[in-house]
Amino acid sequence: MVNALMSLTSGRNKMDQQFRSAGYDWRLYCGSNVIEQHLPEAVKRAKAQRVFVVCSPSITRSTNVIDRLQVALGTLFAGFYDGIEKDSTFTSVMAACEAAKAADADLLVAIGGGSVIVAARAVAIFMAEKVSPYELMTQYPEGKRPFSPRLMAPKLPIVNIPSTPTNAMNRAGTGLKNTQLDHRMEFFDPKTRPQSIFLDTDFLLTTPDGVLRSTATTVFADAVSSFNDSATNPLVSGTLQTAFSLAYQAYLALSQNVDDPKLRLNLCLAAFLSNRAEDDGYRRNPNGPFAGNYAVSTALHIRFPEVGQGESTSVLHSTVLRRKAEEVTARQAQRAGTALGIWQEGMTGNEAAMATADRIDAIYDTQGIPTRVSQLGIPFEDLPLIAEETVKNFNASSGTRSPEQQTKAALALLEAAW
- In this structure, the answer to whether residues 62 and 186 fall within a common structural domain is yes
Report, as an integer, the average pLDDT of 266-276: 96
- In this structure, the answer to whether residues 187 and 227 fall within a common structural domain is no
- In this structure, the answer to whether residues 225 and 199 fall within a common structural domain is no
- In this structure, the answer to whether residues 255 and 357 fall within a common structural domain is yes
Q: Is the pTM of this model over 0.85?
A: yes
Top pLDDT among 225 and 417 is at: 417
Top pLDDT among 7 and 182 is at: 182
**H helix or E strand, kind and range, residue 160:** strand 158-162
Residues whose CB is less than 8 angstroms from the CB of residue 95 and which lie 6 or more positions away in sequence, other chains included: 81, 83
Answer whether residue 22 is part of any domain: no
- In this structure, the answer to whether residues 96 and 221 fall within a common structural domain is no
Question: What pLDDT score does 392 carry?
Answer: 75
Single out the residue in 204, 221, 254 at which a domain terminates. Answer: 204
pLDDT digits (tens, 9 = 90+) for 39-80: 999 999 999 999 999 999 999 999 999 999 999 999 999 999
Domain of 295 in residue numbering reads as 2-13+213-417
- In this structure, the answer to whether residues 268 and 192 fall within a common structural domain is no
The CATH number linked to 49 is 3.40.50.1970
Top pLDDT among 397 and 251 is at: 251
Whether 202 contacts 32, CB under 8 Å: yes
pLDDT above 60 (res 9): no
Confidence of residue 5 (pLDDT cuts 50, 70, 90): very low
- In this structure, the answer to whether residues 171 and 233 fall within a common structural domain is no
Cα 144 to Cα 416: distance, rounded to the nearest angstrom:
30
Q: Share the mean pLDDT of the chain.
A: 91
pLDDT digits (tens, 9 = 90+) for 192-243: 999 999 999 999 999 999 999 999 999 999 999 888 876 678 899 899 999 9
- In this structure, the answer to whether residues 273 and 187 fall within a common structural domain is no
Whether 197 contacts 169, CB under 8 Å: yes
pLDDT above 60 (res 17): yes
- In this structure, the answer to whether residues 269 and 394 fall within a common structural domain is yes
Answer whether residue 18 is part of any domain: no
Single out the residue in 179, 204, 229 at which a domain terminates. Answer: 204
pLDDT above 80 (res 397): no
pLDDT digits (tens, 9 = 90+) for 351-395: 999 999 999 999 999 999 999 999 999 999 999 999 998 887 766
- In this structure, the answer to whether residues 388 and 275 fall within a common structural domain is yes
Burial track 383-392 (b if 16+ CB lie within 10 A, e otherwise): beebbbbbbb
Domain count of the fold of the chain = 2
- Length of the chain as a residue count: 418
Confidence of residue 291 (pLDDT cuts 50, 70, 90): confident
pLDDT above 80 (res 400): no
- In this structure, the answer to whether residues 339 and 264 fall within a common structural domain is yes
Cα 411 to Cα 296: distance, rounded to the nearest angstrom:
9
Question: What pLDDT score does 8 carry?
Answer: 43
Question: What pLDDT score does 267 carry?
Answer: 98
Question: What pLDDT score does 113 carry?
Answer: 96
CA-closest candidate to residue 316, choices 270, 357, 276: 357
Answer whether residue 19 is part of any domain: no
Cα 407 to Cα 387: distance, rounded to the nearest angstrom:
5
- In this structure, the answer to whether residues 196 and 238 fall within a common structural domain is no
Top pLDDT among 384 and 12 is at: 384
pLDDT digits (tens, 9 = 90+) for 72-126: 999 999 999 999 999 999 999 999 999 999 999 999 999 999 999 999 999 999 9
Answer whether residue 191 is part of any domain: yes
**H helix or E strand, kind and range, residue 110:** strand 107-112
Question: Of the given ranges (78-82, 129-133, 345-349, 391-395), which has the lowest mean pLDDT?
Answer: 391-395
Question: What pLDDT score does 402 carry?
Answer: 79
Residues whose CB is less than 8 angstroms from the CB of residue 244 and which lie 6 or more positions away in sequence, other chains included: 223, 224, 226, 227, 270, 339
Helix (H), strand (E), coil (C) string for 166-230:
CCCCCCCEEEEECCCCCCCEEEECHHHCCCEEEEEHHHHCCCCHHHHHHHHHHHHHHHHHHHCCC
Single out the residue in 204, 229, 252 at which a domain terminates. Answer: 204
CB atoms within 10 A of CB 6: 11
Long-range contacts (CB closer than 8 Å, 24 or more residues apart) made by 224-227: 224/248, 224/290, 224/317, 224/336, 224/340, 224/360, 225/284, 225/285, 225/288, 225/290, 225/291, 225/292, 226/274, 226/277, 226/282, 226/284, 227/290, 227/335, 227/336, 227/339
The CATH number linked to 222 is 1.20.1090.10
Answer whether residue 357 is part of any domain: yes
